[in-house]
Amino acid sequence: MKEIYDAHTHLNSDQLSKNREQHLKDFIEIWGKGLVNIWVNNKWNKIALTIAKEQSFFPTRIEKLSNNNRHGGIGTTLWLHPGETTWWEISSLEKAKEEIEELKTLINENKDYVRAIWECGIDSHYERNNHIEEIQIYLFEEQCKLADKLHLPIVIHSRSNFELSYNIIKQYPQLKVYFHCRSYSPEEVKKLHETLPHLRIGFCGNLTYPKAHNLKESFAYIIEHNSQHSNRKIQRLLETDAPYLSPQKVRGTENVPAHIIHLYNRVEELYPMTKVSEACKEHFLNLYIKG
C-alpha cells in the first residue's frame, strides 16, 4: 500500500475545522501518513496549532510531525497570506507590523509544532495598486528574514506577479523554498531553480483538469529535468489545498485531505514511471523535518 502525504492543506479553515477529526480519519483510511496545515492569518494560525497539539486526533498511524519522527504526522506552518492585504484585515503598514510581531510570538511559543513559514508571497490577482503592493512586499520580506533566522523552510503563494515574487525570494538562495499550487510556466520554473537550489514545487487537484495544459507542461518539465540532472533535482510535492481545488474526479465538491488519493492516482496514470508515492514521501520529509 502506498503512503500518502498532503503537503499543503487547511483543516484549520472555517470550512473544515469543525469536522477535522472525521477528515483526519478519512485521510488515514487512504493510508495518509502525513499532512501539514497551512494558513494565512493569526486566527487560522492558532487553529492550526490547536490541531497539531490534539493528540487524540493522532491514531496509531499518524503522529506528531517532529524531527524524531521521520515517518510522517501532522504539523503546521504559520504565516500571513498576501490576501490579508486585499480581502482580510491588513490594510496598513502599521497593522502589518503588529501582525508580524504576533506571528513571531506564536512561533516562539510553539517551536515544536511549526514546520515552516507559510503561506506568504505576492498576489496581484484580485487587486493591484501601489498601496497593497507595498504592504505585501513588507510582509513577504519580513517573513523571508524570519524563515532565514529560524532556519525554517518558506512556502510561497505567488500569483499574477512572478517577477516581483522572484526579485524578493532570489535574495534568499539558502532557504528551502516551496512554491505551492504551481501556476508558472516551465520557463519560470527553470528560472526559479537556477537561482534557488533548494526549490520545491507543489501541484494541486487542478493538475487533473482537462484544460490544465500549462500545469501538465510544468510537471513534465520537472520530470524531464530530474531525469537529466540527478544531482540537482527539483523536488515536487502533491497537495490538496483543501477546501479548494478538488481533483477532477470529485470536482464541484468541497475538497478534503482524503481527496488527494485522486491526485496521486491521476499522476500515476499520466506519468507511470515517476514513482510518485516514493518521491512525494521523500520530498515531504526533506522539506518539513530538519536533519
Query: 211-248 pLDDT, tens per residue?
Result: 999 999 999 999 999 999 988 999 999 999 999 999 99
Number of H helices, E strands in the chain: 9, 8
138-162 tens-digit pLDDT:
989 998 999 999 999 998 988 888 9
Residues ≥6 apart with Cβ < 8 Å to 6? 27, 32, 34, 35, 36, 238, 239, 240, 242, 257, 260
How far apart CA 107 and CA 192 sit, in angstroms, is: 28
CB 133 within 8 A of CB 124: yes
Query: What domains does the chain contain, in order, with CATH numbers?
Result: 4-259+283-288 (3.20.20.140)
Alpha carbons within 13 angstroms on the beta-carbon side of residue 170 total 13
Q: What is the predicted pLDDT for the residue at 70?
A: 42
Banded model confidence at residue 196, pLDDT cuts 50, 70, 90 = very high
| pLDDT for 56 beyond 70 | no
Q: What is the predicted pLDDT for the residue at 209?
A: 97
The residue among 33, 46, 26, 40 whose CA lies nearest residue 2 is: 33
Q: What is the DSSP string of 243-266?
A: TS---GGGTTS---GGGHHHHHHH
Between 126 and 159, residue with greater pLDDT = 159
Q: What is the predicted pLDDT for the residue at 85?
A: 42
Q: What is the predicted pLDDT for the residue at 127?
A: 65
Cell 492516482, residue located: 265
CB 89 within 8 A of CB 42: no
Between 57 and 111, residue with greater pLDDT = 111
| pLDDT for 55 beyond 70 | no
Cβ atoms within 10 A of the Cβ of 224, count? 11
Alpha carbons within 13 angstroms on the beta-carbon side of residue 290 total 13
Q: What is the predicted pLDDT for the residue at 118?
A: 65
DSSP bridge partners of 69: 66
Average pLDDT, the chain: 83
Q: Given the DSSP bridges, would you call strands 177-179 and 4-9 parallel, antiparallel or unpaired?
A: unpaired
Q: Given the DSSP bridges, would you call strands 114-120 and 73-78 parallel, antiparallel or unpaired?
A: parallel
Q: What is the predicted pLDDT for the residue at 92?
A: 84
How far apart CA 11 and CA 6 sit, in angstroms, is: 11
DSSP bridge partners of 177: 154, 199
How far apart CA 78 and CA 216 sit, in angstroms, is: 30
176-186 tens-digit pLDDT:
999 998 778 99
